[in-house]
Structure 1
Amino acid sequence: MAVAVIGLVISSAANVEGRSSRNSDENLVASFIFGDSLSDAGNNNYFSTLSKADIPPNGIDFRASGGNPTGRYTNGRTIGDIVGEELGQPTFSVPFLAPNSTGKAILYGVNYASGGGGIMNATGRIFVNRLGMDVQVDYFNITRKQFDKLMGPSRAREYLMKKSIFSITVGSNDFLNNYLLPVLSIGARISETPDAFIDDLITHFRGQLIRLYQLDGRKFVVGNVGPIGCIPYQKTINQLNEDECVELPNNMARQYNAKLKDLLTQLNENLPGSTFVYANVYDLTMELITNYKQYGFKTASKACCGNGGRFAGIIPCGPTSSLCQERGKHVFWDPYHPSEAANLIIAKQLLDGNTKFISPMNLRQLRNLS
């Protein structure tokens, strides 16, 4: 579970609501999505885990399901859903573990993200089961072989390199549900300093990204870690005021983000033909949390769906949760995840933003790279 990228107000949600009608030559064909609950589209529905979003009112505004829960940790679409629509992806990327993730369905992309997942294999063990990044890349390797069978090796390689975007949103759980987790992480914190843990994260993540490159990924967008000390859960359990955040998680996120940016620069320089785009989640999120009223929100502290404490930030969203009346006026859907209204803003910034928030190019420019 984690916080996400937040950007500037989207000028017209209507542009994103429907499928793109642009010339098919300009359209993104496939989107391969990796990461945690910010991107999970239902993988966690298919195994036993304490991290699930397959119960109402999750998905209440997700039109494709008629308002029924799909396993998305929000009231509507994820950022990946919205970005894919706007770039011309014909259908949502199918969850890898879903029964229909076979045959031609995978040609439009596959979603491997898993609530509770992280860069490190130990991350998220509090949820019992989840798919970490190593497993997600293993699953993509299976998909990669399926592409060869469907299209032939040569055509499959070109398809993945030129017509596909690989989106990775991961890292928040490595702090919230690993290193900073009370009780379970005490031993780790004694034996490993924050600096050493962050270096370990970067080393592991480098290997995972290189594996995806070796499997013919070329266009990547990688989100950094947002201000995880500002989510409703953290504000609630630490009994903070609306304008306060927990400093330790935020400091570690900033430290990790600086090293992640350096890593992506190195990969761009050393992996021929690759483009790694850095999504500045942290600054985008702080912009919205700080100036939420300017973006049409009533609160950037209280969860729309949740229970417990001043900000409804302790108990995850479920059938017995309190539910806000104006879902579009809350930055956060639940104690951890943004609302669809926030995701629309995020998506707009990722698609069309400048290099302050997404560099060296935005996602529309990334799609159009030949």
Structure 2
Amino acid sequence: MKIFILALVFSFITCINCISRITDSHLNNGASFIFGDSLVDAGNNNYLRTLARGNIRPYSIDFKPSGGNPTGRYTNGKTIADITGELMGQKHYAVPFLAPNTTGKALIHGVNFASGGGGILRDTGRVFINRLSMDVQIDCFNITRQRIASLLGPERARNYIMTKSIFSVTLGSNDFLNNYLLPIFSVGVRRALTPEAFIEDLITHMRGQLTRLYNLDARKFIVANVGPIGCIPYEKAMNRVTDSECAELPNNMALQYGARLKDLLQELKQNLPEATFVYANVYDLVLGLIRNYEQYGFTSVDTPCCGGGQYSGLSPCGPTSILCADHTKHFFWDAYHPSEAANKIISKQLLHGDPKYVTPMTLQALRDL
């Protein structure tokens, strides 16, 4: 019994010392809590038994912190989440929730819950076997929130999450590409639901998910719509469109979803006191980059840097793939994902950009609230 009491006392003293060592200066740059899919996954899928993996060469070939070794990122370098974090002055990337080193002080800089193949709906991405849906990602944040409370103390942690933390949500693409529009699995869904009904189902789930995050103390949100998925090399190849065209149905569904999402954020702003919702209009932003790609220094938006087949859209990027000579000249890295060069342009627009792309304020203004 004495040994047990001594152990409790030692644990209590250790906890107090841990709390006291994290000063306000450690918290100045705030935290980023990232929810999403492969566009912002920083390596969570490395720890899952899944077919959706970005931890093979040549992924991350231009990611300097890893020396060009694969990290689980689905691009050649940094994701949008990495770049926006850097631009906002964060000295550390948000660590993947499932990584074994995601403990202690690492948590206060932010945590990445994103998962390749994940979606708003639980069924989305089941072709990959395992992935973290948005519901599961929120479960993971709840665990993280409790861990931060043990580091900072409950009240200090709650204040840090509410006032110094940004919650970014980049989801929805897989709900179309790897659910409703996927021929193998979508037959039953498409028979039961019209595109409009399916989109309403997504909005209903997103309403509940953002509200749940709010109830877990989230207050600063940036939520992205779905980009012009009909213009990605995979969809162009599947729909056999010409170089100058994009697949119509995927783009129309993305547009409809974006309009409903914008309405939802206005609704939540009115119903959730003290919450701020920034709408990231990546659909128009990316479409503008694709249509005027030469102005931004790209030589191709039809063919990705890594892959094969028509538009390089039907062959996966992997160790045997032939790479383009200059990774900065292709808008797409593979059949689905932008290159680091494209991610840099998108990130700068989100941080300082035009109101037609980020509203009612920029990401920097959201941070400074």
Shift of 1:322: 1.5
User: In structure 1, how many angstroms separate the alpha carbons of the residues matched to 2:141 and 2:314?
Assistant: 34
**Are the aligned partners of 2:27 and 2:108 in contact in 1 as well (CA < 8 Å)?**
no
**Are the aligned partners of 1:27 and 1:87 in contact in 2 as well (CA < 8 Å)?**
no
Q: C-alpha deviations, 1:108-135, integer Å up to 9, x for none?
A: 0000000000000000001111000000
Structure 1 match to 2:22: none
Distance 1:314 1:141, change over 3 A: same
User: In structure 2, how many angstroms separate the alpha carbons of the residues matched to 1:69 and 1:350?
Assistant: 26
With CA pairs under 8 Å and 6+ residues apart, which has the higher RCO, 1 or 2? 1
Instruction: Output the amino acid matched with 1:318.
Output: G
Shift of 1:332: 0.2
Matched position secondary structure for 1:220: strand
Matched position secondary structure for 2:185: coil
Matched, 1:209 2:210: yes
User: In structure 2, how many angstroms separate the alpha carbons of the residues matched to 1:314 and 1:111?
Assistant: 29
- Structure 1 moving runs of 4+ over 2 Å: 24-28
Matched position secondary structure for 1:257: helix
* Aligned residue pair count: 345
Structure 2 match to 1:275: 276
Structure-to-structure mapping, 1:209-248, within 5 angstroms: 209-248=210-249
**Are the aligned partners of 1:327 and 1:339 in contact in 2 as well (CA < 8 Å)?**
yes
**Are the aligned partners of 1:41 and 1:71 in contact in 2 as well (CA < 8 Å)?**
yes
Q: Which has the higher helix share?
A: 2
Shift of 1:27: 5.4
Shift of 1:183: 2.7
Q: CA RMSD in A?
A: 1.1
Distance 1:300 1:115, change over 3 A: same
Computing the radius of gyration over CA atoms, which structure comes out larger, 1 or 2?
2
Q: C-alpha deviations, 1:8-50, integer Å up to 9, x for none?
A: xxxxxxxxxxxxxxxx799532100001000100000001111
User: In structure 2, how many angstroms separate the alpha carbons of the residues matched to 1:54 and 1:251?
Assistant: 32
Q: Can you give the 5+ residue segments of structure 1 that lack an aligned partner in the other structure?
A: 1-23
Instruction: Output the amino acid matched with 1:252.
Output: M
User: In structure 2, how many angstroms separate the alpha carbons of the residues matched to 1:132 and 1:28?
Assistant: 28
Structure 1 match to 2:114: 113
**TM-score after normalising by structure 2:** 0.92
Shift of 1:244: 0.4
Instruction: Output the amino acid matched with 2:47.
Output: Y
**Are the aligned partners of 1:60 and 1:75 in contact in 2 as well (CA < 8 Å)?**
yes
Instruction: Output the amino acid matched with 1:152.
Output: G
Q: C-alpha deviations, 1:289-315, integer Å up to 9, x for none?
A: 101011110011101011222x11112
Structure 2 match to 1:334: 334
- Between 313-322 and 106-115, the greater mean CA deviation after superposition: 313-322
Matched, 1:293 2:291: no
- Between 190-199 and 135-144, the greater mean CA deviation after superposition: 190-199
Structure 2 match to 1:82: 83
Structure 2 match to 1:29: 30
Q: C-alpha deviations, 1:310-357, integer Å up to 9, x for none?
A: x11112211011110111000000000000000000010000012111
User: In structure 1, how many angstroms separate the alpha carbons of the residues matched to 2:198 and 2:308?
Assistant: 32
Instruction: Output the amino acid matched with 1:257.
Output: G
**TM-score after normalising by structure 1:** 0.92
User: In structure 2, how many angstroms separate the alpha carbons of the residues matched to 1:43 and 1:336?
Assistant: 18
Structure 1 match to 2:175: 174
Structure 1 match to 2:253: 252
Give me the identity figure in percent.
66
